[in-house]
């Protein structure tokens, strides 16, 4: 099966389903821990989740581990306005494929994630992520 380049797949969160919309994810804080770990802290709009939530705002922490790239772009300057979800994984990423040609630091476990918040869009190449919700 031939995969399209840069195909985006929504990340489905067990408790919330797919999250979608400009007002869906707010970011309050970014924490850098060491060289390869970043934590994003904020709130998710419970009414913009595929699985409706009783709480209007759900605090979250998402930790990306094994980071090789962390890029933030102001939302209005982000060129690719087409997205399937506020949190996506890029399949057959051109970015990852180009890194494979120049570095042996990239592992098979690295993925290309896109995290859309109200103000900014983050592109992250990381080995894994861990999402903690305060439901």
> Which of these, 131, 125, 79, lies nearest to 98 by C-alpha position?
125
Q: What is the pLDDT along the chain (135 residues), one digit of tens a residue?
A: 556 778 999 999 999 999 999 899 999 999 998 889 999 999 999 999 999 898 999 999 999 999 999 999 999 898 887 888 999 999 999 999 999 899 999 999 999 999 999 999 999 999 999 999 998
DSSP string, 9-43: EEPPBTTTB-B-STTSEEEEEEEE-SSSEEEEEEE
């Amino acid at each position: 099966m031939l995969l399209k380049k840069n195909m985006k797949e929504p990340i489905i969160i067990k408790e919330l389903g797919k999250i979608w919309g400009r007002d869906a994810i707010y970011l309050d804080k970014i924490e850098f821990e060491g060289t390869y770990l970043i934590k994003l802290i904020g709130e998710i709009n419970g009414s913009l989740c595929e699985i409706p939530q009783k709480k209007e705002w759900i605090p979250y922490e998402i930790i990306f581990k094994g980071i090789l790239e962390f890029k933030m772009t102001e939302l209005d300057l982000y060129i690719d306005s087409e997205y399937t979800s506020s949190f996506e994984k890029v399949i057959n990423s051109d970015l990852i494929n180009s890194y494979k040609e120049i570095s042996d630091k990239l592992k098979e476990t690295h993925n290309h994630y896109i995290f859309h918040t109200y103000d900014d869009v983050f592109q992250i190449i990381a080995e894994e992520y861990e999402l903690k919700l305060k439901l």
